[in-house]
Amino acid sequence: MNSTYNPLTAAWDAPYGLPPFDKIRAEHFGPALDAAMAEHVSEVAAIAASKEPSSFENTIAAFDRSGEALSRVALVFHNLTSSMTDEALQAVERDYMPKLALHVARFLLDPGLFARVDAVHERRGDSGLSPIQVRLVEKMHLDFVLAGARLDEAGKRRAAELVEALSVKCTAFGQAVLADEDEAYVLIEDRAGLAGLPPDLVDAAAEAAKAKGHEGQWAITVGRSFVEPFLTASKNRELRKKVWEAFSARGEMRADRDTKPIIKQILELRAEQARLLGYSSYADFALVDRMAKTPARVAELLDAVWPPALARAAEAAAGLAAIARESDGIGALEPWDWLYYSDQVKRRDYALDEAEIKPYFSVDNMVKAMFWAAGRLFGVDFVEVKGVPLYHPDVRLFEVRDRAKGTLKGVFLNDNYSRAGKRSGAWMSNYREQSAGVVPIVVNNNNFTPGKVGESVLISFDDAATLFHEFGHGLHGLLSEVDYQGLSGTNVLRDFVELPSQLFEHWALAPELLEKFAVHVETGTSIPADLVARIRKARTFNMGWETVQYLGPALLDMRLHALTALASFDAARFEREERARLGVPPVVGLRHRLPHFQHLFADNGYAAGYYVYMWAEVLEADAFEAFEEKGDLFDPDLAARLKRCIYAAGNSADPAEAFRAFRGRDPRIGALLKQRGLG
């Protein structure tokens, strides 16, 4: 092959317009991104320099369509740096993430382009535009304004510098946390350390140790899907402590990549960005383009849930401490004890044992189950296609077909297992976004712990809910029916984006679905009705712990981004003092500590926005009640309205109006409190 050949800039001939995964190397990205950015610059320059009067078509729609080459290369780049990275790709990431951020910022700060956008915006009410076209005009105009399009030249230069600097720091943060997650593990050298662990976790630990060069021993890595089952099952308290401490220390394990100084730098840059644009804090700035609009409205929601959550957590802690004292002589309950003794309570009070539950929840069957639920609700079929080159053997490809029309609706990639070079957590992304005449390519990433080759991977019911959650995001991208890419799929307000995902979790407990797909991995029998009833009954069990674990970081996030004086800021001290001020029980702790809080510091997406999961839960709990009131979780009329108003609509309507169109009224918080057992 010619040494100058670049598969990213050559014609893509893989099926479905997929990237040529089998040919791409890290060294291809730099030249491809440079070429694509140059092409994009030319396209936008032509829009800005047009002698024609500005119109929706020649300015707004043209800008929305521009950058197709860059979009397809950049999406591959972003996806692989998250799910399949290595040192070579990370070097490209450090070099090009700032360049990509600055590339977009320069367009939004271009006075000639903004003048044309502004002119269309001024005339939007009397230009005969459709509601969705007006929506795109308003969104695009706000993007320009929030980027600094109205600043003077000195202000624009500084705005661009801040965007570039933030990209550098966020990339450094994400790479540091990933390095800790890849390197850290707790080694178990003899079988005595396996006491209490189920066979599938023992097998996974053996495979992890082998991968780390310790064949014949067992390793617990620090991904949540490995750590939480271990903390739940292990009888060895000292090992539980070691695993919890390693998990908690991500982001500050080594002095040379301690993220706490980076956090301060990111916060200083964000605070300056907000001031430059006329806002008193970054929280005020970030919430302008959210449903919540103001920090006060976020506080109203979080403050309504925090006290009852603390009360429930304190009540549970007292009960767990009594069990630990009576059964094991433990004087003081610690964070690494909570899940272990909670499991004992679950067994005692709900007759639930993960060893009984997990054989009914194999990953492969739960994937079939989520496809089946989507088919029943939304009239789509998922057909697996093999033999297409993908970026890792774990990834599976499915055609998504409209059942009534028989047409291709999208392409779905499913990447379910943890590995080195893949960041922790679970997320949805795109390799191609939907727009008029363009079918999307959507990917779901999870981090389930792989077991022995050829054997079914078993997961907890909570993990199955996570699978359904990410698939809810996936459906939001796949079912999109919007002409303009800037409004399609998940390009919605941040505190609306979690509605489709959290809502779809409910169908993981649909009785028809469980009967068909929750079948025992060995016997093939359906999950017993009494076991399902026990799982349902226990859904609010431990909800005080879960709510405090989530709300604590959400409250810290809002407090962080309300800061305006950061000269003496110290991340460790801030976290310690805020935990005390809020009354976070030490035995409960935080789901995310600041040094590894990637939602906040690996990029800007959830900065002053971690609250959005609870904001969306108000919406989804109320929305699901509509199906419960009907008495049919697959009611065809409700499902059709849900698809039309929520899953297919993207950002084509104001999200509050979209919810009202589905529910017939505004959301009420009562359903959330009931769902969490706090009402």
Crossing angle for the helix pair 87-108 and 131-147, nearest 10 degrees?
A: 100
Contact 468, 508 (CB under 8 A): yes
Which amino acid is residue 615, in one-letter code?
W
Domain 258-350+542-591: give its CATH code.
Answer: 1.10.1370.10
Which amino acid is residue 267, in one-letter code?
L
Q: Which residues make up the CATH 1.10.1370.40 domain(s) of the chain?
A: 359-539
How far apart are alpha carbons 615 and 611 in whole angstroms? 6
Domain 15-150: give its CATH code.
Answer: 1.20.1050.40
How far apart are alpha carbons 234 and 151 in whole angstroms? 58
396-402 and 185-188 beta bridge pairing: unpaired
What does the buried/exposed string (b/e) look like for 94-105 if buried means 16 or more CB atoms within 10 Å of the residue's CB?
Answer: eebbbebbbbbb
pTM of the model: 0.95
Contact 414, 434 (CB under 8 A): no
**Topology given in CATH for the domain delimited by 359-539:** Neurolysin; domain 3 (1.10.1370)
How far apart are alpha carbons 258 and 262 in whole angstroms? 8
Residue 643: closest CA among 479, 448, 444: 479
> What are 196's two structure tokens?
């209490």
> What are 233's two structure tokens?
């099952």
- Report the catalytic residues: 470
Q: Which residues of the chain have pLDDT under 50?
A: none
Q: Which residues make up the CATH 1.10.1370.10 domain(s) of the chain?
A: 258-350+542-591
pLDDT of residue 453: 82
Name the 3-class secondary structure at 645.
helix
pLDDT of residue 678: 87
Q: How far is CA 261 from CA 183, 195, 257, in A?
A: 21, 40, 9
What does the buried/exposed string (b/e) look like for 286-304 if buried means 16 or more CB atoms within 10 Å of the residue's CB?
Answer: bbeebbbeebebbbebbee
What does the buried/exposed string (b/e) look like for 508-521 if buried means 16 or more CB atoms within 10 Å of the residue's CB?
Answer: bbbeebbeebbbeb
- How many other β-carbons are positioned within 10 Å of the β-carbon of residue 532? 19
Q: Which residues make up the CATH 1.20.1050.40 domain(s) of the chain?
A: 15-150
Contact 397, 390 (CB under 8 A): yes
**What CA dihedral angle connects 278, 282, 283 and 286, to 10 degrees?**
80
- How many other β-carbons are positioned within 10 Å of the β-carbon of residue 607? 24
pLDDT of residue 2: 60
